[in-house]
Amino acid sequence: DAGVTQSPTHLIKTRGQHVTLRCSPISGHKSVSWYQQVLGQGPQFIFQYYEKEERGRGNFPDRFSARQFPNYSSELNVNALLLGDSALYLCASRRSYGRTNTEAFFGQGTRLTVV
């Protein structure tokens, strides 16, 4: 079975531009979450989607948005990019959304560099 796949793997954007990151969860997984990891920090929660609805949002500005499609894949969009948005963006999928005793499965991430 394919794991969580993310595209692109690397991306360079200019300040003020917009970016779209994509994630395909493991087959059968309906919950997708997005995390941002900056150097020296642990991953920080951005969004969770389940059955195409936003179920949770972390402490990120409105420039960050996401959506989930009928096939459970997801996009993370960031508008008006800032230098501080440079980070590794991780996508994680789970079969359910609420139970805490099951692990999340992560993709390899998209490395975004804003110049």
Residue 50 beta carbon to other proteins: minimum distance, rounded to whole angstroms? 8
**Pairwise CA distance, residues 102 & 77, whole Å:** 27
Residue 56 beta carbon to other proteins: minimum distance, rounded to whole angstroms? 3
Residue 96 beta carbon to other proteins: minimum distance, rounded to whole angstroms? 8
Residue 12 beta carbon to other proteins: minimum distance, rounded to whole angstroms? 18
Q: What residues line the site for other proteins (CB under 8 A)?
A: 3-4, 31, 33, 35, 40-45, 48, 50, 55-56, 58, 90, 92, 94, 97-109
Residue placing its CB nearer to other proteins in the complex, 90 or 114: 90
Residue placing its CB nearer to other proteins in the complex, 14 or 59: 59
Q: From residue 110, give the alpha-carbon distance in Å to each of 21, 30, 95.
A: 7, 21, 22
User: Which residues make beta-bridge pairs with 22?
Assistant: 7, 75
Closest CA to 66 of 98, 40, 104, 35: 35
Residue placing its CB nearer to other proteins in the complex, 33 or 81: 33
Structure tokens that stand for 85 in this block: 């948005």
88: left (phi over 0), alpha (psi -120 to 50) or beta: beta
